[in-house]
Structure 1
Amino acid sequence: MTATADWVDVAAMLRDPYETYARLRAQGPVVRVPALGRHLVTGFAACRAVEADQATYSADVSGSGATMARALGAKPMLRQDDPRHEAERAPINPGLRAKSIRATWVPRFAHNAESQLDVLRERGPERAELNRDYAAPVAARNLVDLLGLPEATPEGMQRWSHAFIAGIGNLGDDPDVWARCDAAQREVDEHLDALIPHLRRHPDPSMTSALVNGGLPEPAVRANVKLTISGGMNEPQHMITNMVWALSRHPEQRDRVLADPALWPVVFDEALRWLSPIGMYPRETTRATVLDGVDLPRGTILGVVIGAANRDPAVFDHPERFDIARSQRAHLGFGSGVHLCPGHWAARIAVGEIAVPRLYAALPGLRTDTRREEAWSGWVFRGLTDLPVTWGPPAL
């Protein structure tokens, strides 16, 4: 018999989902949640099993797939299974490998971080807010460069991303959300109208060029550019603030990494596990199956809650702790299987090797400013919306 959690409070999850995740895991690795109209998969092994079997657990999800296609103009690779998913992803894979990122994009990532550090310094340690003044603009600038949209602005990129994400989640069919989403679609398409023919004649290292020259039909090119805009902002942006938030609350670990910069990739991975920016994504069963002992009929909508799986005590010792000294275990922060996030090396390098280390090097004594309020939001996508920071010697 499938466990049911009729006690789940969605509003509480938006504030902080981790207590709910722990209670769900205690009920079982797969639990039906009526308030969400789906089964939530919270166990690490169960989440891995879903991603290992796309024939049984499809990414082409009813409802969610339809809103994503509506929001982006066509169904992108994220809501497709192989072989279509593989065909649309193949053009961008070579340019997103670690070697390619280091050879092509590291100078741009460094330039973007340094430019935005000037904004933080101008704000000063009494007024700086890390999300607004650094994390979001750096993520947006990097995305403008990776996509090769020369006329786009960081402000426009942030606005488009927010509009597309709202549209993808618009299961309630809110007309205001669709209006914002449609406006973002038109603006992006205007950029692509001129850019696509140019890139056919003059290929460059950008992701858009790879898609344009990868043999894909034009609607697929446009949908996957918009998919990258929707998803390419959140994780890098939230990882910058998450890492600073975590280190500010664990000063002994912050001191360790400042003394040994080789630990920055470890900090990135542990923050990604502990505070997963992408908390959940959907799947749908294509046939009756049994997942970790739970019977699931064909057509069951699942929420693969990697934010919960990354704190599964069956896999991680004291998972509720942020601990850069823990034994390194594979987590699910970037997903797994064939749908592993293609931009994971770009995020690791842009954030873990450049944006956050340079932030601490430029602003000695950087820490969250507890005199001002911080704010978190979300559980499907979760991150800090406000993170006041300060630097310099602590006040006496």
Structure 2
Amino acid sequence: MLEAPRGAPATSDIDPFSDAYLGDPYPFHQQLRDAGPVVWLAQWQVFAVARAAPVKAVLGDWETFCSGAGVGLANFKVETPWRTPSLLLETDPPDHTRNRAVIGRALSPASLRGLKSSFESAAEELVAALPDGADFDAVPLLAEAFPLKVFADAVGVPAEGRRHLLAYGNMVFNAMGPRNERFERAMAHAAQVVPWIERACQRDVLTPSGLGAQIYAAADEGAVSAREAALIVRSFLSAGVDTTAAGIANALYCFARNPDQWARVRADPALARAAFEEVLRFESPFQAFFRTTTREVELEGTVLPAEAKVLVLIGAANRDPRQWEDPDRFDVKRKTLGHVGFGFGIHGCVGQMIARMEVEAVLAALARRFERIALAGPPTALIHNTLRSFVRLPLRLGS
């Protein structure tokens, strides 16, 4: 067992993978922020950063705090990952730069403009089918249904079996934590899910006009190999559904709890995008991930040895009072520049513009139709190693 590091301002027995923490992380975040800029988590033998400044310092220095050793608790340099590492999320330059450029070309401004109208049409259709004045569960009927339709269409994956995308994302993100009961539950259906995902990433099953086909076009040009193209499509799929579904659910929850803020969006649907940025700050769907030190480094007065795991607490940084005034207040007109809900630095979410377009389309469609968003019962929180959202979100919408 490692000893507490030199210069550490605090050691904490907080367990960031306990049910209590994951069910309501914000009191724990405050304790970790107050403890200091760098905290040693004794149970897991890792460092944690919860304040905005050190979080950005870690994410902004990929050479010292790498992703190539895995962005979860496991260190891929000494542990075997459960699947071939992501060519985007779990690589560093120069490979990361090359692979991200392939995605970047597929997500050109022209491609995004073409997707925008289809997202808006799909949002209008989905919202029109929602019950007016009757209770319904917004997780399957809206939060999950929308990205399963529009994102999967955009990539070009087969229609049959798309629910596997949610299961696969659940596996990927739970695997960033310890191999606990949540991880085992997520992996329970791997024998059915993984082969479907691998098949869905192959060129012959992708639609010829989708984003996946554009990635294979880059392989034709020699930018990547055909095998790498399949893995890049897989990386895209693993991050593109669960996180967006969580973002939509969290947005609905925020507005149900803050009807005055929904009234603002209702009065001006153009606020939908700014509102989503505040959701990302206030209820970050992606709560935390890890980096690994490549050398001994001093961070905020603490000496971190090489090969140390650093838990980067996105959700805590986004409510750090050192950066945000009244951070526990949800305000759609807040200036949110500087939040790290999509990460920060070269590994910032490559699909963040698509996610923004999706949630903006949903919120704008809801604002045009419904005057009220209200909870119709107690929601059931998602207890997850990495994501924060809901398993069940009973709502009642009123026009």
Q: What TM-score, normalized by structure 1, do the two folds share?
A: 0.88
Residue 387 of structure 2 corresponds to which residue in structure 1? 381
Q: Could you list the per-position Cα deviations for residues 70-106 of structure 1 after superposition, in whole angstroms to 9, with x for gaps in the alignment?
A: 4443442211111111111111113324x33542212
State which drifts further: 309-318 or 166-175: 166-175
Task: Label 1:83 to 1:39 Cα distance change in 2 as closer, same or farther (>3 A).
Answer: same
**Structure 1 residue 177: deviation in Å?**
4.9
State which drifts further: 317-326 or 128-137: 317-326
**Structure 1 residue 338: deviation in Å?**
0.5
**Distance in 1 between residues matched to 2:211 and 2:81, nearest whole Å:** 25
State which drifts further: 145-154 or 339-348: 145-154
**Distance in 2 between residues matched to 1:361 and 1:302, nearest whole Å:** 44
AA in 2 matched with 1:357 = A
Q: Could you list the per-position Cα deviations for residues 141-176 of structure 1 after superposition, in whole angstroms to 9, with x for gaps in the alignment?
A: 122122211344442332333344345546359777
Task: Label 1:146 to 1:36 Cα distance change in 2 as closer, same or farther (>3 A).
Answer: farther
AA in 2 matched with 1:187 = W
Residue 235 of structure 1 corresponds to which residue in structure 2? 243
Residue 136 of structure 2 corresponds to which residue in structure 1? 128
Residue 82 of structure 1 corresponds to which residue in structure 2? 93
Q: Could you list the per-position Cα deviations for residues 350-387 of structure 1 after superposition, in whole angstroms to 9, with x for gaps in the alignment?
A: 112x111112323x2331224x2201223621112211
**Distance in 1 between residues matched to 2:161 and 2:128, nearest whole Å:** 18
**Structure 1 residue 335: deviation in Å?**
0.7
**Distance in 2 between residues matched to 1:127 and 1:279, nearest whole Å:** 29
AA in 2 matched with 1:375 = T
**Distance in 2 between residues matched to 1:73 and 1:20, nearest whole Å:** 33
2:115 counterpart (102, 105, 108): 105
Q: SS state of the match for residue 304, structure 1? A: strand
2:264 counterpart (256, 260, 274): 256
Contact 1:280 1:306 in 2 (8 A): yes
> How do 1:161-240 and structure 2 match up within 5 A?
161-167=169-175, 169=177, 171-172=179-180, 177-178=186-187, 180-193=189-202, 195=204, 204-211=209-216, 213-214=218-219, 215-240=223-248
Task: Label 1:226 to 1:66 Cα distance change in 2 as closer, same or farther (>3 A).
Answer: farther
Residue 40 of structure 2 corresponds to which residue in structure 1? 32
**Distance in 1 between residues matched to 2:184 and 2:29, nearest whole Å:** 32
**Distance in 1 between residues matched to 2:80 and 2:118, nearest whole Å:** 32
2:153 counterpart (132, 145, 154): 145
Contact 2:202 2:230 in 1 (8 A): no
1:355 paired with 2:362, answer: yes
1:322 paired with 2:330, answer: yes
**Distance in 2 between residues matched to 1:238 and 1:152, nearest whole Å:** 22
1:48 paired with 2:59, answer: no
Task: Label 1:175 to 1:258 Cα distance change in 2 as closer, same or farther (>3 A).
Answer: closer
Q: Could you list the per-position Cα deviations for residues 159-196 of structure 1 after superposition, in whole angstroms to 9, with x for gaps in the alignment?
A: 33334434554635977754523432211223344527
Q: SS state of the match for residue 198, structure 2? A: helix
AA in 2 matched with 1:356 = L
Q: SS state of the match for residue 128, structure 1? A: strand
1:6 counterpart (10, 13, 18): 13
Contact 1:51 1:337 in 2 (8 A): yes
Identity score, percent: 25
AA in 2 matched with 1:272 = L
Task: Label 1:159 to 1:290 Cα distance change in 2 as closer, same or farther (>3 A).
Answer: same
Q: Could you list the per-position Cα deviations for residues 189-209 of structure 1 after superposition, in whole angstroms to 9, with x for gaps in the alignment?
A: 23344527x78xx5x341453
> How do 1:364-379 and structure 2 match up within 5 A?
364-370=370-376, 372-377=377-382, 378=384
AA in 1 matched with 2:391 = T
**Structure 1 residue 5: deviation in Å?**
0.4
Pairwise CA RMSD of aligned residues? 2.6
Bigger share in helix: 1
AA in 2 matched with 1:147 = V
Q: SS state of the match for residue 302, structure 1? A: strand
Residue 391 of structure 1 corresponds to which residue in structure 2? 397
> How do 1:244-323 and structure 2 match up within 5 A?
244-323=252-331
What stretches of structure 2 of length at least 5 have no aligned partner?
Answer: 1-6
**Distance in 2 between residues matched to 1:170 and 1:220, nearest whole Å:** 28
1:64 paired with 2:74, answer: yes
Contact 1:170 1:177 in 2 (8 A): no
Task: Label 1:273 to 1:367 Cα distance change in 2 as closer, same or farther (>3 A).
Answer: same
Residue 105 of structure 2 corresponds to which residue in structure 1? 94
**Structure 1 residue 22: deviation in Å?**
0.3
**Structure 1 residue 8: deviation in Å?**
3.8
**Structure 1 residue 306: deviation in Å?**
1.0
Q: SS state of the match for residue 151, structure 2? A: helix
